[in-house]
Amino acid sequence: MTKKLNKYLNFFLILIFCYLSLQFFNDTKKTFWNTNYDWKNIKNVKKAPDVNVINISSNILGFVNNEEIFLDPFLTYKLSLKSKSYFFRFSYSFKDNLSIELRDLIWLNNMPKELGSYKLESLDLDLKKGSGSTLTFIGNGLSVINESKYLKKTIRQLKDVNFYGDNKDLLGIDYIGNRKYSFKKAFEKREFIPSTQSYIVMIEPNEGFNEEFIYFCKLINNLEFKGAEKIFVITCPVFKGTDYNTIEFNKLLLKEGEVNKRIELININLLSKKIAGFYRDSVNEISKKGYEKIAHEISSKL
Amino acid sequence: MKFHQNYNKKSIVLFSLAIVFVTIPAPNYNINSQAQIFYFFTLLFFANKPFFQSYNFKKVMKAIVLSFPFFISALGCFYSENKIEGFKYLLSTIPFLLFPITFSYYQLNKKKIEWLLNYFVLSVLLFIIFGFIKAFWFFNNNLGDFYFYDKFALLLNKHSTYFSLFIVLSIVILLNNWIEKNKFRLGEVFIFIVFTIALYMLSVRISFIALLFGITILLFFKTSKRVFLYSTTILTLLILIVFISPNMQKRFQKSNFDNGKIDDISFRLKHWEAVIETVKDESLFFGIGTKGDNKRLIENYKKRGLTAAYERGYNAHNQFLEFFLNQGLVGLGFFILSILMIFKFLINDSNYLGLCLFTVFITYMLTESILMRHSGIISYTLFLSVSLFNTFEKKKIIKKIILLNTRIDYLSMSQTLEKISNSIKNNQQIHHVAVNAAKIVALQKDLKLRESVNCCDIINPDGQSVIWASRILGKPLKERVAGIDLMQELVKKANTEGYKIFLLGAKEKVVSKVVSIYSKKYSPEIIAGYRNGYFTKAQEKDIAEEISDSGANILFAAMPSPKKEIFLSENKHFLKNVNFIMGVGGSFDVISGLTKRAPLWMQEYGLEWFYRFLQEPKRMFKRYLVGNTKFIFLILKEVFK
């Protein structure tokens, strides 16, 4: 009986492998982030001075060189040694005379194992643009640094979307804003905000909450004017030492969320209660898990 | 249509089961879940006989024992503060319930099991090759080196620990094939090499330990002692080399700790300490409930500075502690009990491959909560269900087994009875003896006793310890055929077949009470005669002739050992008219009610001696405590001979 069944089972195995192969090529962008980069269209390759690498880890790269060097965190870099090349991006750097340490760094393909002299090049490595919908993230403060990258990354993995903006985060995803951004500044620079189908707004009030709220309303109107189909507004995270301004602003947002049907309000203080480890307690910041939860919430409505 | 013509319903069920096996290592666990559903439906629609027809007590017991994790988790759901998560987990443990039930019903022969296991091995191989191809694709496109550790596991789309588990199970199955067939093909050698490379690439420490344990047990039971010793020594050395190799050392980098880094073992110990403290704080007896509120656990991780543990919300990383955490001492106790019972079932059935596979699972449970994930649940339930309800071993025609200088017959109770009936019908004589640990110890030095025992026509194992010894020494006997049980069966048979029995031995009061009991229970007609056991050596011949002339077909001699063996051996020819003669020791005392027999559970667990020892500690001290110790020593000596 088993001999007769062999051919059917072998056929089944072939089918399974065909299916899994297709699934692998479909899902690589979700599972393997580096396949999201447009490796075939690397642009603006500029040679930088050779560097002597003295420290390598999964998120730090330290080197010394004979001449002063400026590395722009918005670009991607390539270290080369013989035939091997290692691509990386970083968030910030520490300089001490001719030695530089790049921190909050990610290796896009491999991490070099040997210390020593490497060739260094800067380049533009964009994320592949798909046929999916367009989206702009507007943020400030902690929402544009550290773990916040997982919000945009997870949305991109879950949905076929293309982010737009004039800044790039560590992963190379475009966004609008910076650490000191505010609703007022966002509104003032509204012409730089691209027209996209959806927007995610996650800004903490840097000015007085009443004034910021006025600019919030103006910004929302402007985004609608740009043709926004959906605007996601994320409330500010509340920790032990959160200031009065933010707490009051959150209250205004919650009220607005109830009456204004044009916005999709994501109340993260409610979300945080649904899962353990939403916040990184020790540093008053939303954790990777927390950002992923928000991303799932937004993706389900996109 | 053609399929229907060529294949019967059984083929469809077998095919669906094979699909479950081959999809276990598949990257997407949904495929396996769907395969399970398909299997249950085919079983439901294509089963040949009514579902509950083939059940018996032993099968039901095995199914219950294997389903313990489901029942424990169900219990924990009721008091869990996180009921939704608890019930979600409970749903994922349904295979604990379904596979034992279906396998206790759907029996497979050795050939089919081999076929299923070989296909599992093949699928593990194919998924490894699939992983290699993907790793090559990434490497070739300069997208990273995915050949090692968790990165390779990422391509396999399985947790590295679980995939290594599948590889270890496959290696054990492959090795078992080689031992069984006593040859290996080139293709199998290639598969073995691929598995070894993949295991090294994943570098999961517990996998090597589990492999060592699994193979050691397999070689111990299935090869000669020389092969066993050489192979395990070489394997141990190889694994030690693997452990100290740079690749393996690099795999176990220090873990994140609030105050810096901590080595892997210290991290794990602190981690387990946190789990135990959580249970102590919550409820020692019932734990936090299935998938219960783990805030206290996270706090305890934080208190110990275990950054990685509290950030990622680690589970207990030990299956025993996982039950302790979720269901407290009650859950842990039941789980350990289930493990012991599964070991007992496998040893009793002489299912050595099953024993090896089970040992592999238990080893993994020491560092991983394997029953918390789909891969662990399905592989555990499926492999154990196949092992417990079927046999992987060849049916050998064995007549006698030589165990510590004693030739014991490979007979069950029913076969013994059949043999006795035939001898009575053919008017032949059978001299029977039942040997227990004490008797085996005694006959090591008492050559006269040894000769009188070994000259018997049927030698049955009287004690459970003899059965265990036979299994440990790789010569498994069928079942225990206790002298008193055989006597009771023969008396019953005497009544139905018209045989006559003679009762010899014990005090007059005792033997006459036995006669009276049997006369009332059956008929006085079955008694050919009786006599107490107090007589001199000179009287033996006359007594034997008297018994022979009494018209008895069966003689039960209730005398102490070695007196009865020697009496029966020396006077066998005077007892020429008696077809069956056997010594029954203190059985008359038990039947007359003078002494009590141990409860059934004590008999099954080999504790009957302990019960008798409690009844007569002074008399039985030397026989049991000293005798049993000597018996264990003799077995150990034989093991290492």
Instruction: Give me the interface pTM, i.e. the ipTM.
Output: 0.82
Closest Cα of chain A to B311: distance in Å?
7
The Cα B270–Cα B258 span in angstroms is 13
- Amino acid identity, residue B628? N
Helix B437-445 crosses helix B464-472 at what angle (to 10 degrees)? Answer: 70
B27, B112, B142 member nearest A109 (Cβ):
B142
Is A20 close to B26, i.e. CB distance below 8 A?
yes
What's the token pair of residue A165?
Answer: 């903006």
- Taking contacts as CB-CB distances below 8 angstroms, the residues of chain B near A277 are 298, 310-313
Percent of chain B past pLDDT 70, that is, above it, reads 94
Burial of A123 (0-12, 13-18, 19+ CB in 10 A): middle
The closest CB to that of B15, out of A8, A109, A276, belongs to A8
Chain A residue nearest residue B20, CA to CA:
A9
Nearest by Cα to B72 from B294, B315, B330: B330
Position B566 pLDDT exceeds 60: yes
Q: B308 touching A, CB under 8 A?
A: no
- Residue B254: pLDDT band (50, 70, 90) is low
- Taking CA–CA distances from B156, the nearest residue in chain A reads A24
Element at A138 (helix H, strand E): strand A133-140
> Cβ atoms within 10 A of the Cβ of A6, count?
12
Contacts of B53 (CB under 8 A, 6+ apart): none
Greater confidence (B9 vs B356) lies with B356
Within B203-224, where are the H helices? 205-222
Q: Which residues of A touch B23 (CB under 8 A)?
A: 16
Q: Flag if B22 and A276 touch (Cβ within 8 Å).
A: no
CA distances from B533 to A33, A78, B506, B509, B564 (A): 89, 100, 5, 11, 10
State whether A1 and B15 contact (CB < 8 Å): no
The SS3 of residue B427 is: coil
Contact criterion met (CB < 8 Å) for A4 and B154: no
Distance (Å) from the alpha carbon of B102 to chain A's nearest alpha carbon: 20
Helices (H), B245-373: 246-251, 264-281, 295-303, 307-312, 319-348, 352-365
Q: Given CB atoms, is B113 within the 8 Å cutoff of chain A? A: no
| Residue in the block written with tokens 């901590």 | B262
Give the pLDDT score at A281.
67
- Tell me, yes or no, if B237 comes closer than 8 A to chain A by beta carbon: no
Question: Which of B129, B138, B147, B295 has the highest number of chain A CBs within 10 A, making it the mutation to test binding with A?
Answer: B138
Contact A9 B134 (CB under 8 A): no
Token pair in block for residue B187: 């293709």
Q: How far apart are the first and last CA of chain A?
A: 52
pTM over 0.80: no
**CB contact (8 A) between residue A9 and residue B119:** yes
pLDDT band at B295 (very low <50, low <70, confident <90, very high): confident
End-to-end CA distance of chain B: 61
Question: Contact B144/A34, CB-based, under 8 Å?
Answer: yes
CB B506 within 8 A of CB B558: yes
- Contact assessment for residue A155 and residue A183, using Cβ atoms and an 8 Å cutoff: no
Cα B41 from Cα B24, distance rounded (Å): 18
Mutate to test the interface with B, among A3, A4, A5, A34 (most CBs of B within 10 A): A5
In the 8-state DSSP scheme, what is residue A160?
-
Query: What pLDDT, in 10s, does the model give residues B404-451?
Result: 888 898 888 888 988 888 888 888 888 888 888 888 888 888 888 888
What token pair was written down for A125? 């490595």
From B338, B393, B346, B402, select the one nearest B113 (Cα to Cα): B393
- Read off the tokens for B505: 């031995």
Give B 526-585 residues with CB within 8 A of chain A.
Answer: none
Task: Tell me which chain B residues have a C-beta less than 8 angstroms from the C-beta of A9.
Answer: 15, 18-19, 22, 119
Percent of chain B exceeding pLDDT 90 equals 37
List the one residue out of A73, A72, A51 whose CA is nearest residue A62: A51
Average confidence (pLDDT) over A165-173:
91
CB A289 within 8 A of CB A278: yes
Residues B322, A211: Cα–Cα separation, whole Å: 53
Which band of pLDDT confidence, cut at 50, 70 and 90, is reported for residue B6?
very low
Sheet with B430-435: strands ordered across = B458-461, B430-435, B580-583, B554-558, B501-505, B527-531
Give A2's contacts in chain B (Cβ within 8 Å): 14, 111-112, 115
Q: If you measure CA to CA, which chain A residue comes closest to B258?
A: A282
Contact indicator for B270, B303 with CB cutoff of 8 Å:
no
- In angstroms, rounded to a whole number, what is the distance separating the alpha carbons of residues B330 and B324? 8
Which stretch of B187-201, B450-464, B469-483 has the lowest confidence by average pLDDT?
Answer: B469-483
Q: What is the pLDDT of residue B173?
A: 95
Mean model confidence pLDDT for chain A: 89
Contacts of B111 (CB under 8 A, 6+ apart): A2
Is B184's Cβ below 8 Å from some Cβ in A? no
- Per CB-CB distance under 8 Å, the chain B contacts of A39 are 141-143
Q: CA of A31: which chain B residue's CA is closest?
A: B154
- Strands A84-89 and A106-107 turn out to be antiparallel
Residue B51 has pLDDT above 60, yes or no: no
Residue B119 sits at the chain A interface (C-beta within 8 Å): yes
Q: What is the pLDDT of residues A157-168, one digit of tens each?
A: 999 999 999 999
Please indicate if any CB of chain A lies within 8 Å of the CB of B310: yes
Look up residue B398 and give its two tokens.
Answer: 């064995």
Q: Which of B142, B253, B278 to mutate to test the interface with A (most CBs of A within 10 A)?
A: B142
**How many CB contacts within 8 angstroms connect chain A with chain B?**
74
- The pLDDT value recorded for residue B641 is 64
**B109–chain A Cβ distance below 8 A for any pair:** no
- The yes-or-no verdict on residue B477 having pLDDT over 60 is yes
Are A32 and B22 within 8 A, CB to CB? no
Is B296 touching A (CB cutoff 8 A)?
no
Residue % of chain A over a pLDDT of 70 = 99
> Quick check: B259 contacting A, CB < 8 Å?
no
Burial track B185-197 (b if 16+ CB lie within 10 A, e otherwise)? eeebeebbebbee
Residue B48 pLDDT: 60
Share of chain A above pLDDT 90, in %: 53
More confident residue, A137 or B110: A137
Whether B48 has its CB under 8 Å from any CB of chain A: the answer is no
